[in-house]
Amino acid sequence: MSSNTLETTMARMSAIWGPLTSELVTAARALIEALAQASPEEPWLAELHRDQPASRELYRDAESGFVLLAHFENAALYRPPHDHGRSWVIYAVQQGESEMGTYARVDDEAGKTRLVKRGGTLVKPGQAQVYLPGDIHDTLCVSGPALLFRFTERDLKKEDAVDKKVTRYVQRDGIWVPSTP
């Protein structure tokens, strides 16, 4: 029985899975970048390109808990700064381009929290960005429709909605601040 790039990638991810280490991040990033370079002729990827879902779960590992999602984004779609709680994440672009900015969370003398933007990276097809627990980033689709893969070490819906571990930011008077005080 032949397997496709998605099945092969997730099987390899399961085989290397373990605690967060530099080696795991390097290997996982290489796997997700290879996935982003899969042929659009593969049926699972052709279906994604045809349907262009805003979000679709492609894989969930029952034992380890990691999740792979696909997201189609239109040009100019902006996702404000946020972190991923206790999770680490890999974003990879399969089609289009996405600019991903990084931020530092700082407190002023009065104890008020704000974000300072470090910079941004233009992520092109076949490339990936890694965000570790606590990293803060935003995304802007600069060339779309873009197809992004988002690999997370755990279910972020639960992390966000149930455990309340994800922090989102809003702009107030031109300054990014936590959305909840």
For the chain, list residues with pLDDT below 50.
1
Output the domain CATH number for residue 150: 2.60.120.10
Torsion angle of the four alpha carbons 57, 86, 98, 74, in this order, in degrees rounded to the nearest 10: 50
pLDDT at 158: 62
Q: 98 has which bridge partners?
A: 123, 141
Query: For residues 139 and 25, what is the distance between their CA atoms, to the nearest angstrom?
Result: 20
Query: For residues 76 and 127, what is the distance between their CA atoms, to the nearest angstrom?
Result: 19
| Residue 114 CA to its chain's centroid (Å) | 22
State the angle between helix axes of 22-36 and 5-16 in degrees (0 to 180), rounded to the nearest 10. Answer: 180
Domain ranges, residue 81: 5-178
- Count of the separate structural domains present in the chain: 1
pLDDT at 180: 75
* pTM listed for this prediction: 0.89
pLDDT at 161: 58
Burial of residue 67, with CB atoms counted within 10 A of its CB: 0-12 exposed, 13-18 middle, 19 or more buried:
buried
